[in-house]
Copies of this chain bind each other. A is one copy, B any other.
Amino acid sequence: MPFEPLRNDTFLRACLRQATDHTPVWLMRQAGRYLPEYCATRAKAGSFMGLATNVQYATEVTLQPLERYRLDAAILFSDILTVPDAMGLGLSFALGEGPKFAKVVRDEAAVAELAVPDMHKLQYVFDAVTSIRKALGGRVPLIGFSGSPWTLACYMVEGGGSDDYRLVKSLMYSRPDLMHRILAINADAVALYLNTQIEAGAQAVMVFDSWGGVLADGAFQDFSLAYTRRVLAQLKRSHDGAVIPRIVFTKGGGLWLGEMAALDCEVLGLDWTVNLGQARAQVGGAVGGPGKALQGNIDPNVLFAPPEAIAQQVRGVLESFGPPHTDPASVGPTHIFNLGHGISQHTPPEHVSALVETVYAHSRAMRQRR
């Protein structure tokens, strides 16, 4: 059964550096704990993994933010760590805590056991993708995603979150051979995972390199960027006649933007430390020329200010990027508005309206100004 045709392609057009009437906006972790309706569904599901593995619940929460806000994309409700879970490491989330793996990968024996998992173990994800795509009914496009090979490795070695990445970096500096082996398997697994999401209905895919920015210069290139590149090289460029844009987001990666410009992807995500105008000049390209679309980058903590202060900060971010190109016949610099990191669970939901509405209104005004 074919999916319904897409009615709002603003996000996909901006990914491909095509002109749009307004700057598209979506929010990392937009289906999340700051929404009471999300909390209600999660309570029914019993646990985070219960929510993520249940197709009906995953569909329900993915669509919730679209009911409240004028967003230009939906993102699959899932976790960045489903792939190592499918590798047999045993992912769980204790209430109010971060992810935990029952098994960790810290020595030669554990690395020897790793393999690209059977995608049947991730069928719940692909089923959710298809279900969400159907439920969207062409309203906005659906983004699929995965953690980056390095980011997955951080959790696989540490066994959970970390504030110093001591164990994963110890392994990296002591046994780079083992780390490269983990990362190669992760890269091939992530590529297969994203391609299967694309086949299931994802209309764009995003690689979250959440912890690339904790690496030293040099190590980032060898242990994170190289394996993101290995993922991208294997990804489908199109599916069912539509181009599938690929987004790479390295949190804390602003210093390496020049090197990331050479990645075979359409969009680079940026956190709030990056000056958008400078990033545009560096990698955004000219009208008619090659370049990357840029996605980001407001500090999610702005959402704790009163609505008028939020609107002012949103306008500042839009103006920092500057007017996107408006030539309908050509590609050129484009901006996809987003946060520089996932939305906080403490965010007042009505403050998100102030953000989304300001992006819409001000970005239209900026285009009229030209």
A67: interface (CB < 8 Å): no
For A218, what are the chain B residues with a Cβ–Cβ distance below 8 Å? 275, 316, 320
Can you tell how many copies of this chain the complex includes? Answer: 2
Identify which of residues 61-105 in chain A touch chain B, using a CB-to-CB cut-off of 8 Å. none
A4: interface (CB < 8 Å): no
**Alpha-carbon gap, A164 to B347, bound state (A):** 13
A305: interface (CB < 8 Å): yes
For A269, what are the chain B residues with a Cβ–Cβ distance below 8 Å? none
Number of interface residues of A (CB under 8 A): 39
A217 touches B273 (CB 8 A): yes
Identify which of residues 267-287 in chain A touch chain B, using a CB-to-CB cut-off of 8 Å. 272-276
B304 touches A217 (CB 8 A): no
A216 touches B166 (CB 8 A): no
A48: interface (CB < 8 Å): no
Identify which of residues 297-354 in chain A touch chain B, using a CB-to-CB cut-off of 8 Å. 297-299, 301-302, 304-306, 309-310, 313, 316, 320, 340, 344, 346
11 additional contacts, CB 8 Å, given A166-B346, A216-B273?
A: A164-B344, A166-B304, A169-B299, A169-B304, A170-B305, A173-B305, A173-B309, A174-B305, A218-B316, A218-B320, A219-B299
Interface residues, chain A, CB within 8 Å of chain B? 163-166, 169-170, 173-174, 213, 215-220, 252, 254-255, 272-276, 297-299, 301-302, 304-306, 309-310, 313, 316, 320, 340, 344, 346
7 A-B pairs with C-beta separation under 8 A:
A166-B344, A169-B301, A170-B304, A215-B299, A216-B298, A216-B299, A255-B274
